[in-house]
Chains A and B, each alone.
Chain A
Amino acid sequence: MGNKVVVFSEEQLQDYQDCTFLTRKDILRIQKKFRNLATDIVPKSMTAGNVTSTVMLPLDTIVKLPELRENPFKRRICEVFSKDNTGNLTFDEFLDMLSIFSEEAPRDIKVFYAFKIYDFDNDNHIGNEDMCTALKILTVNELNAEEMNQVCSKAIEEADVDGDGKLSYMEFNHVILRSPEFFSTFHIRI
């Protein structure tokens, strides 16, 4: 196919391969997905200038991605990966996100971002509030207040080692290490 549009320059592709856990094919597929979200904003060829870091899709468009649509944490995930915490993502950030959620990414970095996702108020600790927010999202608000408090306080009690009533990153890491489910569920297949 001679007249095929060059989506990325060779250099860009090499950069992406070096900076993410994705293969060449994955990157191209993700670009297609990104473009399909808003064909009028995203150009077909990403080679020009710095399209990849300036063209921004709003949060409400991103969450329409089929792989993300049903995820209850979708908004929070986008916020974590966007530079300004608004949830609007450029292609670079979008690619970053899917790289972390790919099967190739090691545990450490997944735990790092998981912590960020669950830390809703950005205070570097997962407190009672954060836990309750996560629980509310998970159960679609079906637990009553008493049950919710019970579960939150129990969860914090389980993991809180230094007795400050909230989970630091190390405590979170410690808990996640013992939850074998985490690694098998914390990924999105593209």
Chain B
Amino acid sequence: MSGGERKKRISKGAGWEEAGGEFYQECYPGAELDIEHLPRDPHYFATLLPSKQNRAATTRRSRCDTKSTYKRCATNRSQNYSTMQQNTMQNDVHVAMMPDLSENLANEETTWEEMMLIKTMPINMSQKREIKAKLLSADTFRLQGLKQFKLKKRKLWEYLKVRRKELYKMIELWRQCFITIEGNFGTGVVAFFFFIKWLMFLNLTITVIIVCFVVVPTLLMQEKESDPCAQINDTSYECCPKIYFNSWTNLTITPYNILQGNGWLESTIMFYGYYPNSILENVILNYNLPLAYIATAAVYLLLSLCAMIKKAASGFKDRLMESEGQYYKYCSMVFGGWDFCISNESSAKIKHKAIYKEIKENLETERREEEKKNRNEEEELRFFFIRVFLNGISILICVFAGLLIFYTFQYSVGELQKDVHDDLHRLLLEFAPYLCIVGLNLVIPNILNYFVILENYSPISALRVAFFRTVILRLSSLGVLLASFFSLVRCTSDPATCSSPICQKPLCWETYIGQQIYKLLILDILSNAAITFLVNFPRMLLAKHLKCKFTQILGAQEFELPKHVLDVVYSQTLVWFGSFYAPLLPALATVLFFLVFYIKKFACLVNSSPSTTIYRASRSDSMFMSVLLVSFTVAVIPWAYTMTELEPSKSCGPYMGRLSVWSLIREFYNSFPSWVIFCFEGIVSSTFAVPTFFILILSLYYYYIVSKANKQMVNVLKKQLILEGHDKQFLLNRLSAFIKQHQERHKAIRSVDPPNNSN
């Protein structure tokens, strides 16, 4: 270690020492000191113990680490320990290689680094200023040439980073909203609003991708080939598109059309049917639209998956930490319980209550565990039967809801086949299945929540069970809807004709599905808005202004996070499934999520009071992502199935005339050079795949074993730590006894022989 480095350490140490506290002492006198010269205080020996020495060493090291990685720490707090160490080493080497001149003089770079470190010291402002002045006035060794340039670059980089942060703070969307919500409801709820924002930006990204690669080329380039069938009345196979395009007769814009997604809207870039099936041509390049269409879909789904996994992974780390933290349940309740962001009186009161409730609940859970051990068989059996019975009823309700949706859908399709001229009637029929879905989504969760109360779960698992059932209900209702689409679309007609009277299959079924999803999405948001503004808002007013008991029960509402999360996740599921059939659906969703933010903000700030259940930010974040991942699979699996198995409609879209979308990909694959195909086939062949599979399994098993061993090691070390603590306690007692003895003996000697002492 060179002189410069040492000097730096000392000056830094001074900063921490001034902060006081026995726990920050830099160095302790070693073993060479003899007992004669030690202070009389036995507690002083505590600092001599090896464990304390270690501690001092660790503090020192961690401080150095912060220093050397300062550049990164500013941006990335979650530093990996090993990289830290590596960095320190590099820094040491770097410093050691510097010329001798710098031995007593700090150079410009280190001075600057120290300056940046001042703010991390736990001392007050005047001391910080002093240190800064000292640093500035001290002689520094000027850097030359490349190093000077590097330092300048670093300084500039740091400056730009600060500027960027300032700028970002200024333009950050909804920053003020977040602060208000956080002040009123705490960090758990604000995480939900960050989640909405995140989804909005995800949809915006998807929109940009789709617009760039699908919409713009379609609008800019012309189709290559001319129309094969000239006559209008030709009903042969080639003329299916003609028939479909001729059905776009009434292209006036009415509000009904906009709501239902038919008429004028059907003939725009909004839906699948608009996009041509040919290679587009321009002066410069040819653009294979069908291929681009499917590739874009694959890309944005992959992108969503990656974004989700990335977000979930960081939450997962927190969760792992927390799972270890269950040993520290009470500690984190006491030290991490209060939300320092809260600045609203009523929510502070509720937070106090919530913490009280959480502590009570924890004590209760422990008592319950005890009780459970003592519970006799009879009671056990009773609870078992109650739970089985109620679970059965929940399943029955779900099945019933599914059937209701299915039959409403059938009815609506059947009625719409007949001529309905009244616009309003038609609108109602079009929306019947979706009204049914939305209605069920509103009513049934409340019933399920009521069941959970009867089932006598512990508070935390009660929340989980209710949430799980609601997720199942919502996703299964969506599943039923998709199944009814499927039953309508699957019906195969004579390959030579465009449509047959037996099937009720629409001419362009992809556009049809796109329209249905579009309707459901719009209705979902509208119902959300309506309930927030027309039902819950008057309820709140009632509870606020009429102080009788009845209105209090009717009107008081809490902000139930899981329910609102489900609303948002549901919309996102629809977008994922529907954006293949209606490419501009993500654009619509971006706008809708923007509105949803304000709707939910109103629901949160105006309508409800903070919930007495504590939603932890880290826990809620991972909850959002896991629900979103489940719904992503629910959206993607049926989509992938239709891609590979179903025949695209003959009268519209980029894939007309093909057996399936998959066939296009296979064709494209066959057009690759032969060596690529050879390599790819080699990778997929069993001779390659089976060993790979085995290796993967083996490595997985290896990591599993390693993690298990580590866990055991952690346990052993923990025990050892505790034992050493006891050792220390024991030694301290012995030592202080010994010192006392020694002192007494000393005193005795002194009193016996005073002249000796004066020498």
Residues of A within 8 A of B (CB): 15, 18-21, 23-25, 52-53, 66-73, 81, 83, 92-93, 95-96, 99, 101, 104, 106-109, 112-114, 118, 124, 131, 134-135, 138-140, 142-143, 147, 150-151, 154-155, 158-159, 161-164, 168-170, 172, 175-189
Contacts and interface: CB of A to CB of B under 8 A. Distances in A.
A170 B333 CA distance: 19
Interface stretch (B343-351, B402-410, B532-540): B343-351
Contacts, number: 201
Interface centre among B73, B126, B345 (most CB of A within 10 A): B126
A72 B74 CA distance: 30
A69 B360 CA distance: 26
Interface centre among A53, A70, A81, A169 (most CB of B within 10 A): A70
B165 A134 contact: no
A138 B340 contact: no
A112 B122 contact: yes
A184 B617 contact: yes
A18 B132 contact: yes
A189 to B, nearest CB: 5
B722 A109 contact: no
Contacts of A24: 166
Give 7 nearest A-B pairs by CB, closest first. A162-B725, A92-B125, A70-B348, A179-B332, A155-B330, A178-B325, A181-B336
B159 to A, nearest CB: 11
Interface of B: 19, 21-23, 51, 55, 58, 62, 66, 73-74, 77, 115-116, 118-122, 124-126, 128-129, 132, 162, 165-166, 169, 179, 182, 186-187, 318-319, 321-322, 324-325, 327-345, 347-348, 352, 355-356, 359-360, 363, 616-618, 721-722, 724-726, 728-729
Nearest to B175: A189
Given A155-B334, A164-B725, A170-B23, A70 B345 contact: yes
A92 B124 contact: yes
Given A107-B77, A170-B23, A188-B340, A175 B331 contact: yes
A67 B360 CA distance: 28
SS class of chain B's interface: helix, strand, loop or mixed? Answer: helix
Contacts of B360: 143, 147
A149 B726 CA distance: 23
A107 B79 CA distance: 11
SS class of chain A's interface: helix, strand, loop or mixed? Answer: helix
A170 B725 CA distance: 13
Interface centre among A93, A138, A183 (most CB of B within 10 A): A138
Contacts of A104: 74, 165
A180 B327 CA distance: 13
A181 B122 CA distance: 22
Nearest to B54: A170
Nearest to B166: A23
26 contacts: A19-B132, A21-B119, A24-B166, A25-B169, A53-B126, A71-B338, A73-B338, A92-B125, A92-B126, A93-B125, A113-B122, A134-B334, A138-B352, A140-B356, A143-B356, A147-B363, A169-B21, A170-B23, A176-B335, A176-B336, A178-B321, A178-B325, A179-B322, A179-B331, A184-B187, A185-B617
